[in-house]
A = this chain, B = another copy of it.
């Protein structure tokens, strides 16, 4: 049977158990030109909260009653005259929160579990890694000697942003929640410093760590921290707007950055990015990140939970911060 998590109610504020409904259906039959994929791992991302809202965004809002949208990785267990994929292939795509999918494979790509573990293909070598790599290089335009600040520094995107910036010769300061994450960011990932926003005065500590200010701020969180970063820009600084996790569940509406005139004072730029724009360069990004991983220059960490029925509580960890690295749900039952 195929367990599927359906999106059944648009949340107002935080999503909760009533947002989804678990259904069990027969495993779908494939048509000519399709493959049947048994899913192993589902990617959990803060962007999911945005997909639940109505209204214009960078992607169509999810429809009520549809399978919860998610990136995923699994194995082809049956194929009927498919032009690219055969039985036994491992593939990654947006198959959603379900155990099986019958698909023509549009947007799917083959992955090799002998090179890195499967969950890495929905993490560092998947969308979060591509977001980090193209965001910091193409939008952040980092160069040697830059001072770079990254929020969500222990997360799937932020952890890679900082490591790429280090490789490119920047001084990198992270922001993360709690001493354990900050220790990981500095000791394991090699950031120059990490500010614990839950226990430290971010503004003061940032002043100490970056006395001459910031050249790049890679923003995953929005809210107060975006304002603090705006207050410490150097001339011609770049702010990469990748996300705003602190605001996604805000029922009172988004908090705008009241320090935005710092863009004028410092002739700075704030630019939004969506990873899909780099789709034709994913292979290039994955190759570079993969090589750096093989050389030990980039560390990738996944935090893996089990059981499709545990999706709601696992999803919640994105917003409580109770996870370390890329959040993944194993949905295959062994």
Binding site for B on A (CB under 8 A): 56-58, 222, 227, 241-244, 247, 253-274, 277
Contacts and interface: CB of A to CB of B under 8 A. Distances in A.
The 9 closest A-B pairs by CB, nearest first: A256-B256, A264-B272, A263-B272, A256-B258, A256-B257, A254-B258, A269-B271, A270-B270, A58-B265
A261 B254 contact: yes
Contacts of A269: 269-272
A185 B58 CA distance: 35
Given A58-B265, A265-B274, 14 more contacts: A58-B266, A255-B256, A261-B272, A262-B272, A263-B270, A263-B272, A264-B273, A267-B271, A267-B273, A267-B277, A268-B271, A268-B272, A269-B271, A269-B272
Q: In the complex this chain forms, how many copies of it are found? A: 2
B265 A272 contact: yes
A225 B56 CA distance: 19
13 contacts: A57-B265, A58-B266, A241-B264, A243-B264, A244-B261, A254-B261, A262-B272, A263-B270, A264-B274, A267-B277, A268-B271, A269-B272, A270-B271
Contacts of A255: 256, 258
Contacts of A242: 264
Contact of A227 (B241, B244, B256): B256
Contacts of A263: 241, 270-272
A57 B235 CA distance: 11
A272 B277 contact: no
Given A269-B269, A274-B267, A241 B261 contact: yes
A125 to B, nearest CB: 23
A267 to B, nearest CB: 6
A288 to B, nearest CB: 22
Contact of A253 (B241, B258, B266): B258
A103 to B, nearest CB: 27
A50 to B, nearest CB: 9
Contacts of A262: 272
Nearest to A59: B265
A263 to B, nearest CB: 4
A329 B260 CA distance: 32
Given A253-B258, A255-B258, A270-B260, A56 B265 contact: yes
A257 B227 CA distance: 12
A264 B227 contact: no
Which of A264, A269, A273, A274 gathers the greatest number of chain B CB atoms within 10 Å? A264
A267 B263 CA distance: 17
Nearest to A55: B265
Contacts of A268: 271-272
Contact of A58 (B222, B253, B258, B264): B264
Nearest to A243: B264
Nearest to A276: B267
A261 B261 CA distance: 16
A42 B274 CA distance: 47
Nearest to A50: B261
A196 to B, nearest CB: 25
Nearest to A260: B256
